[in-house]
């Protein structure tokens, strides 16, 4: 049973997909405060990355866990679950394709998940992101300097909270 009318559903979806969502603002504010300059919602790149640091060769996506199907916490609503499952699967496939396209174009891609911006994890996530931005930048310089123009092997996008990489078990002591 679908308890949402079409109208209600599109209103909800519009809200979920809206630009300048709060998690994006958190990331942008942090980058700005650290002196990074960026463009946002860059439409001429695959997937319109939320944040693009051209100088660093880095594209950042800030993903909502529900909408982009974060397997840790992106649970499917019980009501009308087939609809949502298909929708989210398509989103995940599209995300993956866009990341691959960006990587092939020579961008480093960072995915920041919404749940990693909760207060308890925020600082660590943002620092980690900054670390990868600088790492990508240094790798880029190395590539430019190399007369062979080799790309590093196993170059893959950076998923800040890939399931196997979650190691934030320590709680901050107050």
Instruction: Indicate whether 65 belongs to the interface with Zn ion (CB under 5 A).
Output: yes
Per-residue contact flags (x/-) with Zn ion for residues 115 to 134, judged by CB under 5 A: x-------------------
Q: Are 4 and 12 in contact (CB under 8 A)?
A: yes
* Continuous H helices in the chain: 6-17, 22-33, 81-104, 119-145
Shortest Cβ 149–Zn ion spacing (Å) = 37
Count of residues in contact with Zn ion, rule CB under 5 A: 5
- If the CB atoms of residues 113 and 132 are measured against Zn ion, the closer one turns out to be 113
Instruction: Indicate whether 113 belongs to the interface with Zn ion (CB under 5 A).
Output: yes
Instruction: Indicate whether 70 belongs to the interface with Zn ion (CB under 5 A).
Output: yes
Cα–Cα distance, 149 to 126 (Å, whole number): 30
Q: Of 127, 132, 94, 93, whose CA–CA distance to 110 is shortest? A: 132
- What are the residues facing 159 on neighbouring strands? 111
By the criterion CB under 5 A, which residues form the site for Zn ion?
65, 70, 73, 113, 115
């Amino acid at each position: 049973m679908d308890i949402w009318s079409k109208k209600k559903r599109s209103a909800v979806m519009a809200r979920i997909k809206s630009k300048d969502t709060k998690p994006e603002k958190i990331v942008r504010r942090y980058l700005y405060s650290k002196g990074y300059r960026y463009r946002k919602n860059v439409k001429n790149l695959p997937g319109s990355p939320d944040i693009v640091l051209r100088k660093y060769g880095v594209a950042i996506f800030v993903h909502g866990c529900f909408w982009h199907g974060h397997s840790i916490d992106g649970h499917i609503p019980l009501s009308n679950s087939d609809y949502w499952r298909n929708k989210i699967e398509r989103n995940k496939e599209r995300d993956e394709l866009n990341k691959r396209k960006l990587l092939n174009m020579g961008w480093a891609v960072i995915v920041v998940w919404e749940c990693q911006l909760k207060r308890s994890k925020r600082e660590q996530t943002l620092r980690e992101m900054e670390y990868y931005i600088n790492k990508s930048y240094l790798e880029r310089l190395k590539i430019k300097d190399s007369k062979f123009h080799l790309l590093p092997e196993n170059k893959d996008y950076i998923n800040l909270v890939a399931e196997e990489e979650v190691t934030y078990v320590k709680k901050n002591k107050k």
